[in-house]
Structures are given as C-alpha cells and as structure tokens.
Amino acid sequence: MKISWIVLIAAMVCSATGFAVSFHVFQIEAVREQRIVFLQIIKPGARFATKYIHSVENSPVWEYFVTDRQFRIVLDETTFVSCNTGLPCVVVGNESFHHEGDHFRISHMNRVLPALLLWVNDRYDNTLRIGESQEMKLPSLAGNTLLKISIEELRLFEFVFKKLLLLTG
C-alpha cells in the first residue's frame, strides 16, 4: 500500500514539474511539413551564424546573431565579399561599415528579428554555426525547403515530447 502512495506522489511531482519548469530552446522547423527538425536548449548571450551563397553575386554572406536577455534573435553583424546587387552598403544608426581585406563587414547592427525564415538549398551552401564548435549544412535537416529558426519557451513536458518526436521522426 505504501509503495502505491509513493508512486502516486512521485507521478504527481513529476507532472507538476513538467508543467512548472520552462526554458528556452533554439528551434528549427521545416515550415511546409510543420515538422521540428532541430531543437536545443539555449541561454542568453548564445551566438549563432548563418551562411549562404548570394544568388546574384555568387559570393558568401555570413550573418551573425546573438540571443539577448529577453531571448530575442538579434542580428549583430554581417560579412560579405561583394557590395553590389542585393547586398548592403548603407549603415543605419550606430552601425559601422568596414572594408577588411577581401570582404566587407557591417557591425553593431542590433536588429531584433522575431524569427529567421530561410529558403535553403544545397547549391547555396546554407550553413548554420552554433557557438564556436557546432556547424551543420541546413539542407541536411529537411532537404531543400523553407526553414524557420526561432527561439521558443517550452515547458519541460513540451520539450521532452518534441525531442521524442524529433528522435523518432
């Protein structure tokens, strides 16, 4: 009888914890399929970058992001080789434009984005770098498609459910 009560109380504590505990995650969704293809816990100050080959200039563009204290995606900096069609060459506010060797850099951009919507394709070398060590080709997650990168707040049970779907997927 005592074991049944212990199991019941443990189940209630686990359930309450699953609803009470929440944290923020870096989430990538294949939009057309409405399917999560990447999920990772994230903290304020986390940095990530995206790379693509510009379709007109055929040159690489890197965009550098940081997660602020409110868990928003902030575009901090961009680098590119060419400053022609479709690429920036004008700065706004406190932004700085630099020519550094073989590339250009716009820094201190501080542009808050609700999410990133990226059409990824193998021929454009779409790449994601998280921190200093984790790098992946974005088409490897869901093919050549539209991906949405966002930061979401999830309860523990939601995170576990989404992670299980991702692993069994």
Residue 5 has pLDDT above 90, yes or no: no
The per-residue pLDDT for range 78-119, each reduced to its tens digit, is 988 876 655 566 667 888 888 788 888 889 999 999 999 999
pLDDT for residue 90:
66
pLDDT for residue 138:
97
pLDDT for residue 20:
65
Pick the closest to residue 39 from 128, 159, 143, 126 (CA basis): 159
Contact (CB, 8 A) for 146 and 32: yes
Q: pTM for this structure? A: 0.83
Q: Show the beta-strand stretches assigned E in 85-145.
A: 96-100, 103-113, 116-119, 127-130, 134-137
Q: Tell me the helix, strand and coil percentages in the chain, rounded to 5.
A: 25, 45, 30
Domain boundaries, the chain: 22-168
Contact (CB, 8 A) for 93 and 120: no
